[in-house]
Chain A
Amino acid sequence: MLLAMLILVPLAMAGIALVVPSDAWRPWLLPLAAAIHLGLVGLAIFAPELAGNTLSLRPWFELDALGKLFLAYLSVLFLICMLYAPGYLALRGERSNRVFCANLLVALSAMTLMILSQHLGLMWVAMEATTLATGPLLYFNHNPKSLEATWKYLLIGSVGIALALLGTFFLAYSAVRVGLESSLFFPELVLVAGKLSPSWLRAAFVLLFVGYGTKMGLAPMHTWKPDAYGEAPGLVGALLAGGVTSCAFLAILRVYQICSLSSAAGSARGMMWVIGLLSMAVAAVFMVRQRDFKRMLAYSSVEHMGILVLGVAIGGIGVYGALLHLINNGLTKSVLFLSAGNIHRAYGSKSIDKVHGAIGLLPLSGTLFLAGWLAITGSPPFGPFLSEFTIVNAAFSTGQYPTAGLFLVLLAAIFIGMGTTVLAVVQGPSPELASPDVSGDAKFRDGMRTGLPIILAMALVLLLGLYIPPQLDTMIRDAAAMLEVAK
């Protein structure tokens, strides 16, 4: 019942958003829906006895350890973005936000469905639904560039995820091949993982990893990402970089869980290792002298998706590090995308040729953008430092010295590459508001409504760097235990 509500409440609110006539009032449905969602998630995780202990609607849905972690994280991230939404949409009074609001809520419902599903086919349906619900969000600005970005996002995303469907079928066939009953339920597949046909299972992992990896934006399947994140409103960028990509990561983890119990474990880890490091390297190359600060954030997302799969490939405590990094990255990305969105709004440009001195013009957004950069590149005392350190530590303690070395070199390169662009944005003389350099919304100033949600996210990033609450620690440990390889 509780699980059904988690999926149906946002969907119902989306329906309400479609019929509310006022563009001014409709956006307030977003934080309301997000708060209800977070409340329900909290109830499901911390007080299941109040909800009648029904954390599963067998055999389709179950809130397992991985699901708890991802759902709790998604719900918090979504609430932060939705707190920002009314302030942002109030600035965009010139166009209707009916479809925008409804699609955001449908996306929340689809992502929740995805996290709860225990059936590979159903999970696929939910993931594709997420793509389709978020596609129109990219087109909110209605200009040729955002059109191009939306088209690439939809086409590349749909083709990638079609490959994941073929991989899903291959996985089911790996059971048929050895005479087992075909099933696509995770718990059943995990039980028989050791008996599955190795060649079909390996082929299945390749297709599923490439397919869901496309949605995650891992290199070399990342080509849609700079365009989509560059053109999307900051709010949508934060949600894609933190939410949708995380769901795709969960899909890969669930498939990896099956592979890790079979003879395909080694090749799966090898592939994740290669793609993880490649993503970091590609991001490092394209971040150097990147003049568009929103595209820079997209490459940063490519990098951190690479770090996530690399952490899992390294194994051991690296899995814990990757799951912690998922949260740190998502929250920091919301700081960066939302503050970048504010800067973009004020200057009317996202190129460092025009944008400089942001810290003077927008003291709050400029400072948060700078702090977000320090955090995302792994500077202490912020959260990402801790999770990246855990991953490096895992590599050293298991004797994977070359991996650790490459990881650190790439992190350093990215720190410098990203820093050049970020410092160009925040430093320098602030332009006069009336000057021709500032072609954006001349009335835009840092305010509570577009500032507080970012401060909240930044505070969480700082908190996670200083102190990990024991409840969160337990959740991550339980989730990592599902992926632990018995050696």
Chain B
Amino acid sequence: MGQFVDLIVILALALNFVALAVSRVRTLIHAVAVQGIILGLLPIVMHGPGIHEILLSVGTVLIKGIVIPNLLFHALREVNIQREIKPLVNFIASLVLGAIGTGLAIMFSGALPLAAEHSGLLLVPASLATVLTGFLILTTRQKAIVLVLGYLILENGIFMFGLLLLEAMPVLVEAGVLLDLFTAVFVMGIIIHHINRAFDSLSTEHLAELKE
């Protein structure tokens, strides 16, 4: 069972690098959706099929794997943007930074002592690495829709860490977190729609009028 968990976690890590390397927004949405789905399986894989675990898995796969990607595909069709062409840091450099970030995450989680039952788990370093990947995308990309995807990757990383604490997070709170995530993407989607109408482009470089 532990090996299966590690396999999923490694897959999720690999998807981080896919997300850093691709320029086609469509591929990026697919990568983030797949990451959401495989992570959504983890509650059942790790803790067995209890009611709490099943609800969390189904909810996560539904929201992160189906609802949110569809929202984003819809936004993409409307705005007619296919690629992130002008990242502030190019794709090769992004990959290198991603690799460095993953290394740092492993070192950092080495400094935080884990409980005996969790020692040796890949989950904690992978979670931090995914959070850093999300940050990297948020800081180096310009297209509003890509930034939303960076936020989703960041959230996936946090979700991974949360798996160690299923008993502390009641189902209702988990549901609230997912609902907030959905609403956040929904509201951001509306704003993206308006950005596109106002500037005829989806790039946040136009959003630079407000400064000192």
Contact = CB atoms under 8 A, between A and B. Distances in A.
B151 A155 contact: yes
A136 interface: yes
Contact of B176 (A125, A148, A182, A184): A125
Contacts of A172: 165, 168-169
Interface stretch (A197-205, A355-363, A415-423): A197-205
B196 to A, nearest CB: 10
Nearest to A197: B113
Nearest to A289: B212
The residue in B131, B147, B176 that gathers the most chain A C-beta atoms within 10 A of its C-beta is: B176
A129 B180 contact: yes
Contact of B112 (A179, A182, A199, A231): A199
B147 A183 contact: no
A124 to B, nearest CB: 7
Contacts of A254: none
Nearest to B139: A159
23 contacts: A121-B176, A122-B176, A129-B180, A139-B194, A148-B207, A148-B210, A151-B144, A154-B184, A155-B151, A159-B138, A159-B151, A162-B151, A165-B162, A169-B158, A169-B162, A172-B165, A176-B118, A182-B167, A197-B113, A199-B111, A226-B210, A231-B210, A286-B212
A183 B173 CA distance: 13
Given A144-B209, A155-B138, 18 more contacts: A119-B170, A121-B168, A122-B173, A125-B179, A132-B180, A132-B183, A158-B151, A158-B184, A165-B177, A170-B161, A172-B165, A173-B115, A173-B161, A176-B115, A176-B165, A177-B113, A203-B112, A226-B210
Given A148-B210, A166-B161, A121 B154 contact: no
Contacts of A166: 131, 157-158, 161
Provide the main secondary structure of the chain B interface: helix
Contact of A183 (B115, B138, B168): B168
B210 A155 contact: no
Interface in B176-212: 176-177, 179-180, 183-184, 187-188, 190-191, 194-195, 198-199, 204, 206-210, 212
A147 interface: yes
A145 interface: yes
Given A166-B131, A200-B112, A145 B210 contact: yes
Interface of A: 119, 121-122, 124-125, 128-129, 132, 135-136, 139, 144-145, 147-152, 154-155, 158-159, 162, 165-166, 169-170, 172-173, 176-179, 181-184, 197, 199-200, 203, 226-227, 230-231, 286
Interface in B87-137: 111-115, 118, 131
B14 interface: no
B155 interface: yes
Given A121-B177, A199-B113, A151 B204 contact: yes
Contact of A132 (B115, B154, B173, B187): B187
Given A144-B199, A151-B144, A184 B169 contact: yes
B169 A121 contact: yes
B7 interface: no
B188 A154 contact: yes
B66 interface: no
B207 A151 contact: yes
Contact of B210 (A122, A125, A178, A227): A227
Contacts of A154: 184, 187-188, 191
B164 interface: yes
A151 B113 CA distance: 38
A9 to B, nearest CB: 20
Task: Kindly list the 10 A-B residue pairs having the minimum CB-CB distance in the complex, ordered from nearest.
Answer: A125-B176, A121-B173, A182-B168, A148-B207, A227-B210, A128-B180, A172-B168, A166-B158, A172-B165, A144-B198
Contact of B207 (A125, A152, A230): A152
B187 A135 contact: yes
Among B113, B151, B187, B190, the one with the most A-chain Cβ atoms within 10 Å of its Cβ is B187
A95 to B, nearest CB: 14
Contacts of A179: 115
A147 B191 contact: yes
Contacts of B170: 119, 121
Given A162-B154, A177-B113, A230-B210, A119 B194 contact: no
Nearest to B179: A125
A177 B115 contact: yes
Interface string B29-68: 0000000000000000000000000000000000000000
Contacts of A125: 173, 176-177, 179-180
A135 to B, nearest CB: 6
Contacts of A173: 115, 161, 164-165
Contact of A128 (B164, B172, B184, B212): B184
A150 B168 contact: no
A155 B161 CA distance: 22
Contacts of A183: 168
Q: Which of B165, B183, B195 has the most CB of A within 10 A?
A: B165
A176 B187 CA distance: 36
A107 B181 CA distance: 17
Contacts of A145: 209-210
A286 B211 CA distance: 11
Contact of A149 (B131, B173, B210): B210
Nearest to B147: A155
B164 A176 contact: yes
A149 B195 CA distance: 11
Given A158-B184, A200-B112, A124 B151 contact: no
Contacts of A227: 210
Contacts of B118: 176
A162 B191 contact: no
A145 B194 CA distance: 12
Contacts of B183: 129, 132
A231 B195 CA distance: 16
Nearest to B186: A132
Contact of B155 (A139, A162, A199): A162
Contacts of A184: 168-169, 173
Contact of A155 (B162, B179, B180, B188): B188
Nearest to A185: B168
B201 to A, nearest CB: 12
Nearest to A227: B210
